[in-house]
């Protein structure tokens, strides 16, 4: 597995990371804990050194899982986690709202360090921008944590270009994590040019469109009620049927390259910028191997132009989130 540096920082990670959220929530019943630990450790054995979690996943369970899985190899991996939600006091799933008050950030960091069984968080993202707390105060709180030796790098998630610039002026931002794939390209408008200008890395989550770009989902696929896709407008049967045009495009390129649609979708992301590191999530070893294989798929300039030309003629149907969640992005 090749390595990449996130922007101008010295944070070097595998070209593809592993998003661990789905091992604890969002995609129906969570898998067996030992199975998830096995997937995480196998990912490392196969070259992945970048693992993504958050306190809100579970909540708390995912950090505990990742901490246990990576404990034997802690010094050889980069662990990213996130703060910024006010969780239910009784520990049930979901959250009450956002909370990035400086004192809350510092409390959240202590909890994450304990659950992850680590002494320093490699990359600490603000999970969602808190409109009630100036971003300069948030960056200042993370700066304090960095100076205290509890955090190494500051990250942001789903923030606007202007918010990123303001935060970066207080504490340099190492990476921004936002959704980005062939079926959600809004970061190209303002965020990616800003990151290039400031020397910040980009970490696309849902790089396979929550599984849709793998070609294994169509309008007949059914989702458990606890699967987030059952609430997403882009995943209604009508939208899925319309959006298969994008999967068909990936399938054509994949057949020519002796690859899979998922590998083409990830290879396309890797080809956009050398400082982009996608973090596809998976619960199974066969999908893990498929995702890792994408790092070896090289798309030629002609193939990239062909994808661009064909994709530009396809209009993806449906919003990417229900309205209440979409309001929390790009602030």
Rounded distance between C-alpha atoms, residue 143 and residue 188, angstroms: 28
Is 90 contained in some domain?
Answer: yes
- C-alpha dist (Å) from residue 142 to 35, 72, 80, 178, 265: 34, 27, 14, 19, 34
Is 226 contained in some domain?
Answer: no
Is 143 contained in some domain?
Answer: yes
- Residue 75: per-residue pLDDT: 98
Is 316 contained in some domain?
Answer: no
Rounded distance between C-alpha atoms, residue 18 and residue 161, angstroms: 25
Q: What is the dihedral of CA 96, 102, 104, 108, to 10 degrees?
A: 110
pLDDT along the chain (331 residues), means of 10: 95 98 93 96 98 97 98 98 96 94 98 98 98 98 98 98 98 98 97 98 98 96 95 97 96 97 98 98 97 98 96 95 93 92
The per-residue DSSP string of 80-147 comes to: EEEE-EEE-TT--SSEEEE---HHHHHHHHHHHHHHHT-SSEEEEEESS--TTS-HHHHHHHHHHHHH
Is 148 contained in some domain?
Answer: yes
- Residue 234: per-residue pLDDT: 97
Whether the bond between 59 and the residue before it is cis, its omega within 30 degrees of 0, is yes
> Among residues 269, 74, 301, 88, which one has the least CA distance to residue 178?
269
- Residue 248: per-residue pLDDT: 96
- Residue 308: per-residue pLDDT: 96
Token pair, residue 56, equals 């809100």
Is 244 contained in some domain?
Answer: no
Rounded distance between C-alpha atoms, residue 144 and residue 314, angstroms: 46
- pTM (predicted TM-score): 0.98
Residue 17 and residue 48 in contact, taking contact as beta carbons nearer than 8 Å:
yes
Find the catalytic residue in 57, 125, 180, 205: 57
CATH of the domain at 204: 3.20.20.100
> Among residues 186, 110, 177, which one has the least CA distance to residue 144?
110
Rounded distance between C-alpha atoms, residue 182 and residue 163, angstroms: 24
Helices assigned H by DSSP within the chain: 33-45, 61-70, 102-116, 135-147, 161-170, 191-198, 237-257, 261-272, 285-293, 301-312, 323-326
What is residue 242's three-state secondary structure?
helix
Is 320 contained in some domain?
Answer: no
Is 232 contained in some domain?
Answer: no
The number of distinct structural domains making up the chain is: 1
Q: In terms of residue numbers, what domain contains 38?
A: 3-211+263-298
Strand 3-5 and strand 12-14: the pairing is antiparallel
- Residue 146: per-residue pLDDT: 98
Token pair, residue 83, equals 């703060």
Residue 128 and residue 84 in contact, taking contact as beta carbons nearer than 8 Å:
yes
Buried (b) or exposed (e) across 59-79, using 16+ Cβ within 10 A?
bbbbbbbbbbbbeeeeeebbb
- C-alpha dist (Å) from residue 18 to 77, 83, 211, 224: 11, 19, 14, 23
Rounded distance between C-alpha atoms, residue 156 and residue 82, angstroms: 9
Instruction: Tell me if residue 321 is catalytic.
Output: no
């Amino acid at each position: 597995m090749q390595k990449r540096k996130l922007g101008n920082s010295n944070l070097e990670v595998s070209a593809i990371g592993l998003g661990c959220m789905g091992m604890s929530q969002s995609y129906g019943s969570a898998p067996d804990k030992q199975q998830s630990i096995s997937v995480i450790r196998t990912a490392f054995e196969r070259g992945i050194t970048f693992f993504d979690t958050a306190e809100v996943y579970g909540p708390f369970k995912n950090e505990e899982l990742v901490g246990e899985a990576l404990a034997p190899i802690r010094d050889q991996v980069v662990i990213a986690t996130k703060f910024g939600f006010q969780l239910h006091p009784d520990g049930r799933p979901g959250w009450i709202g956002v909370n990035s008050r400086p004192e809350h950030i510092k409390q959240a960091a202590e909890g994450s360090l304990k659950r992850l069984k680590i002494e320093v968080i490699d990359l600490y993202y603000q999970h969602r921008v808190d409109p009630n707390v100036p971003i300069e105060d948030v960056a200042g709180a993370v700066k304090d944590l960095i100076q205290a030796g509890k955090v190494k790098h500051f990250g942001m998630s789903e923030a606007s270009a202007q918010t990123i610039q303001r935060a970066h002026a207080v504490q340099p931002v190492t990476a921004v994590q936002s959704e980005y794939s062939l079926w959600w390209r809004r970061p190209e408008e303002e965020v990616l040019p800003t990151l290039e200008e400031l020397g910040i890395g980009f970490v696309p989550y849902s790089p396979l469109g929550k599984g849709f770009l793998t070609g294994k989902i169509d309008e007949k696929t059914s989702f458990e009620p606890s699967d987030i896709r059952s609430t997403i407008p882009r995943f209604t049967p009508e939208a899925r049927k319309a959006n298969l045009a994008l999967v068909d495009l990936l399938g054509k390129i994949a057949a020519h390259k002796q690859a899979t649609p998922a590998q083409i979708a990830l290879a396309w992301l890797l080809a956009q910028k050398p400082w982009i590191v996608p973090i596809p999530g998976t619960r199974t070893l066969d999908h893990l191997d498929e995702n890792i294989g994408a790092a070896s798929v090289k798309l030629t300039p002609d193939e990239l132009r062909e994808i661009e030309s064909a994709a530009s003629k396809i209009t993806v149907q449906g919003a990417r989130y229900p309205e209440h969640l979409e309001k929390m992005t790009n602030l």
